[in-house]
Amino acid sequence: MTNTQPVIIRAAMLAIGDELLSGRTKDKNIGHMADRLYEAGIDLTEVRIVADDQPSIVKAVKELSQNYDYLFTSGGIGPTHDDITADAVSAAFDLPCMNDEKAMTLLAAHYKARDTEFTPSRQRMARMPQGAQHIDNPVSVAPGFIIGNVYVMAGVPSVFQAMVENILPTLRTGSRYHSRTIFCPFGEGVIGIPLREVQDAHPDTVIGSYPKFEEGKFSTELVVRARDEEKLDAAAAAIEKMLTDIQQ
């Protein structure tokens, strides 16, 4: 491990929806995606939230899909007028947005089995950029889709999560981070300078310092991350030693 270059795969996420920006809905998908990508060895590097506004979505999709290995989106693929993600992603790729034949067949069969009309609204859920691949939806049938390096998924958390599980095994993954959390009974003001020295001495690790303020008292959680476990062990040992030195 120590002598090979780590493989780094960088991803972005775009959460789409007026309701996230008005406060009506508190997003649950970003944190979930962050967890699952971290576990998989993909570095979530940037997240954006934009409204149900075509120019905003197009701009974000273009920038993020160009700057990262993967872009994952949530929201805006339902059957109503405010669901414009398929149109916006198509526009970002200069592709026509059309009723996908396979999705139309799938949805028609689904509604027929339920003796429910396959209304023009419901047909909107078959829209995707020409040439897109499906992301299966085991919860409510209407698929997400993949075009280029952009993975378009639903906003409803149960559906989003199911779609994420479907795509994860298909993604290129990198060297994953290992991490260790060390409780520090001091506030950040006590440890700031020695902790920087530990960080500087262990450049292939990332040391995060997270203050807590409870019952009028500061403490800190120190989180060490590294793609190489030996380097992680060394940095963690240096932090433990630093804490012992302070206590003495």
What residues line the site for a copy of itself (CB under 8 A)? Answer: 17-27, 30-32, 34-38, 43-52, 56, 78-83, 116, 119-122, 124-125, 139-140, 156, 158-159, 177, 179, 188-193, 195-196, 199, 206-213, 218, 223, 225
Structure tokens belonging to residue 60: 């974000």
Question: CB of 99: closest distance to a copy of itself in angstroms?
Answer: 14
| Closer CB to a copy of itself, 91 or 224, in the complex | 224
User: How close are the terminal C-alpha atoms of the chain, in Å?
Assistant: 36
| Closer CB to a copy of itself, 109 or 223, in the complex | 223
| Closer CB to a copy of itself, 35 or 95, in the complex | 35
- What is the spatial distance between Cα 97 and Cα 119, in angstroms, rounded to a whole number? 19
| Closer CB to a copy of itself, 95 or 104, in the complex | 104
Burial class (CB in 10 A: 0-12, 13-18, 19+), 72: buried
Question: CB of 131: closest distance to a copy of itself in angstroms?
Answer: 25
Please list, in sequence order, all residues whose beta carbon lies within 8 angstroms of the beta carbon of residue 230, skipping any fewer than 6 positions away: 1, 2
Cα atoms in the Cβ-side hemisphere of radius 13 Å centred on 199: 14
Question: CB of 3: closest distance to a copy of itself in angstroms?
Answer: 26
Cα atoms in the Cβ-side hemisphere of radius 13 Å centred on 64: 26
